[in-house]
Copies of this chain bind each other. A is one copy, B any other.
Amino acid sequence: MPEFRKDPLLGRWVIVARERGERPASLRFENSEEPLAPADDPFSEGNERFTPSEVYALRSAGSVPNGPGWQLRVVPNRYPALRVEGELDPASYGLYDRMNGVGAHEVVIETPDSKLAFADFSLSQISRVLEAYRQRIDDLYRDIRLAHVLVFKNHGREAGATQQYSHSQIIATPMLPLRLREELNSCLQHWRLKRRSLFMDILSEELRMRERLVFENEHVVAFCPYAGYSPFEVMLIPRVQSADFRKASPAQLEAVAEALKTVLAMWRSALGDGAWNFMLHTAPNAASLAAPEEEFPGYESFFCWHLEMFPRLTTSAGFEWGTGMHINPVPPEEAAAALRAAEVAV
Q: Which of A38-46, A63-71, A179-187, A213-221 contacts B (4 or more CB under 8 A)?
A: A179-187
**Cross-chain contact B325 with A13 (CB below 8 angstroms):** yes
Q: Which of A126-134, A242-250, A283-291, A328-336 contacts B (4 or more CB under 8 A)?
A: A328-336
Distance in Å from the Cβ of A281 to the closest Cβ of chain B?
Answer: 7
A29-B272, A173-B323, A186-B11 given; A226·B330 CB < 8 A:
no
Chain B residues, Cβ within 8 Å of A271: 27-29
**Cross-chain contact B29 with A311 (CB below 8 angstroms):** yes
Distance in Å from the Cβ of A307 to the closest Cβ of chain B?
Answer: 10
**Cross-chain contact A324 with B177 (CB below 8 angstroms):** yes
A160-B317, A317-B160, A317-B161 given; A178·B225 CB < 8 A:
no
Interface residues in A270-301 (C-beta closer than 8 Å to B):
270-275, 277-281
Chain B residues, Cβ within 8 Å of A280: 322
A341 interface residue per 8 A CB criterion: no
- Secondary structure dominating the interface of A: mixed
A14 interface residue per 8 A CB criterion: yes
A17 interface residue per 8 A CB criterion: yes
Chain B residues, Cβ within 8 Å of A5: 226-227
**Cross-chain contact A183 with B9 (CB below 8 angstroms):** yes
**Cross-chain contact A209 with B323 (CB below 8 angstroms):** no
A313 interface residue per 8 A CB criterion: yes
How many protomers of this protein does the assembly include?
2
A253 interface residue per 8 A CB criterion: no
Distance in Å from the Cβ of A264 to the closest Cβ of chain B?
Answer: 13
A18-43 near B? 1/0 per residue, CB < 8 Å: 11000011111110000000000000
A16 interface residue per 8 A CB criterion: yes
A141 interface residue per 8 A CB criterion: no
**Cross-chain contact A10 with B183 (CB below 8 angstroms):** yes
Chain B residues, Cβ within 8 Å of A8: 186, 190, 198, 202, 226-227
A314 interface residue per 8 A CB criterion: yes
Distance in Å from the Cβ of A228 to the closest Cβ of chain B?
Answer: 7
Q: How many residues of A contact B (CB 8 A)?
A: 98
Chain B residues, Cβ within 8 Å of A29: 271-275, 311, 313
Chain B residues, Cβ within 8 Å of A186: 8-11
A323-B150, A329-B19 given; A338·B273 CB < 8 A:
no
**Cross-chain contact B179 with A10 (CB below 8 angstroms):** yes
CA distance in complex: A229, B5 (Å): 10
Chain B residues, Cβ within 8 Å of A59: none
Selected contact of A322 from candidates B177, B227, B270, B322, CB within 8 Å: B177
13 contacts between A and B (CB under 8 A): A7-B225, A9-B199, A17-B327, A17-B329, A26-B314, A81-B319, A93-B226, A150-B318, A152-B322, A157-B315, A169-B318, A177-B322, A177-B324
> Which of A's residues lie within 8 Å of B, judged by CB?
5-19, 24-30, 81, 93-96, 150, 152-154, 157-161, 169, 171, 173, 177-180, 182-183, 185-187, 190, 198-199, 201-202, 205, 208-209, 225-229, 231, 270-275, 277-281, 308, 310-311, 313-332, 334, 338
